[in-house]
Chains A and B, each alone.
Chain A
């Protein structure tokens, strides 16, 4: 084993939390698929809602500037494996969106305030969906209808994020803080 280094900004616990929540997000998609079958409005709302709620919990637990950027980096490498590299070209844009969301959380009072985290995650999700839609336009630019179907699905998913994910995330964070699983200070 090589020499050991000290004083990292990202401690091992934060890195593990990010990795675990990325894995949980993918596994939760499987759970929703088992629960709701194929592509239908309820499944879409639930899937996006659960993903957003988990993201809120993750950010509230990690509580460090750059948490969303790190999550984006890991999630994009994972989606590189799952979609065959198509989404990698948008990585800089996704990172920029995450940076804006992280900056917004910091400006709104920091990671200890639940509403600041909610605002940041809402903005992050909006950026992610926009970039995803731009990518689907590149993939299906010859047929506007296909991009339109994608836009409807993305918009519906964002409704799930706003009206299911954020309230559930806020509630989870409150309860987990009460239970002492997420630290308040």
Chain B
């Protein structure tokens, strides 16, 4: 098999959804640094196959910034707490909390990386047509399929509506900013949410009449404009992913976990005994 045929772009969206589901489940189970790093590396290779290096780098930077912000908030809050209880009866209790509060920031971060990678693999090659095709091919019931199709089609529409709304608000001489929302919260809601809600309800009326006329969702088998194919590349990637995930799970089962994980706590207790 040629390497290019196993590229992320060549894969069926159902394959990517299945990998995303499996990787997310496994990443929750894992708590060891080694297995999490291995899963992160494997999924990074998977997403790098898309060739969108710049987007991937920007996404990683955003996650790092978010993580740094969270860690900063925790550390500053804890230091303020320590300062407030200094010299009181609570000092010992707060000191006991210190390892749990300020230790082991890296494991949750490492757990986020595989989820980010598989999400990028879906997002970088996402098209509404292919996604709707995948949903149809999964034989989802009409109750789930129709709202999902409407969702996929109308998110871009709403983003456009919001842009128009912003321009309209500016034309009327109002400002759409945090300061304006703070000073006049009711006006901010009246100018933004009310037109959006009314427009959505009107849109629902028109759309449902059109859908009824076209008998959308009433056919036993939905019509597919884009037939999806489950190819050799999908099969190869799924088999490889299953093997890698199984190996990483075995590794996790064999190796003691992170300093504050439940397994390592047991290990530390056993050492003390």
> Could you list which residues of chain A lie within 8 angstroms of chain B, going by C-beta atoms?
1-6, 8, 10-13, 15-24, 26-28, 30-31, 34-37, 39-40, 42-43, 46, 50, 53-54, 57, 61, 70, 73-74, 77-78, 80-86, 88-89, 138-146, 148-149, 168, 172, 176, 179, 181-182
Contacts and interface: CB of A to CB of B under 8 A. Distances in A.
Nearest to B31: A142
Given A5-B218, A149-B74, A142 B104 contact: yes
Contact of B149 (A19, A57, A140): A19
A21 B193 contact: no
Contacts of B69: 39
Contacts of B261: 141-142
B166 interface: yes
B148 interface: yes
Contacts of B112: 139
A89 B28 contact: yes
A28 B196 contact: yes
Interface in B17-43: 17, 20-21, 23-25, 27-28, 31
Interface of B is mostly: helix
B158 to A, nearest CB: 3
Given A168-B189, A172-B194, A89 B25 contact: yes
21 contacts: A13-B212, A15-B147, A16-B150, A19-B150, A21-B200, A31-B165, A40-B178, A42-B181, A43-B178, A46-B188, A54-B197, A74-B148, A80-B20, A81-B122, A84-B116, A141-B262, A142-B104, A142-B259, A149-B70, A149-B77, A176-B197
B143 A142 contact: no
Given A4-B218, A30-B162, A89-B28, A181 B201 contact: yes
Interface string B135-178: 00000001110111111001101110110011000000000111
A1 B221 CA distance: 8
A17 B197 contact: no
B197 A143 contact: no
Contacts of A143: 74, 100-101, 103-105, 107-108, 260
A85 B126 CA distance: 15
Given A1-B219, A8-B142, A73-B144, A42 B178 contact: yes
B118 A84 contact: yes
A74 B150 CA distance: 10
A26 B155 contact: yes
Interface residues of B, number: 88
Interface residue SS majority, chain A: helix
A168 B193 CA distance: 10
A142 B260 contact: yes
B155 A23 contact: yes
A82 B221 CA distance: 28
B211 A12 contact: yes
B197 to A, nearest CB: 6
Contacts of A23: 150-151, 154-155, 157-158
B21 A34 contact: no
Given A19-B154, A20-B200, A143-B107, A31 B162 contact: yes
A145 B98 CA distance: 9
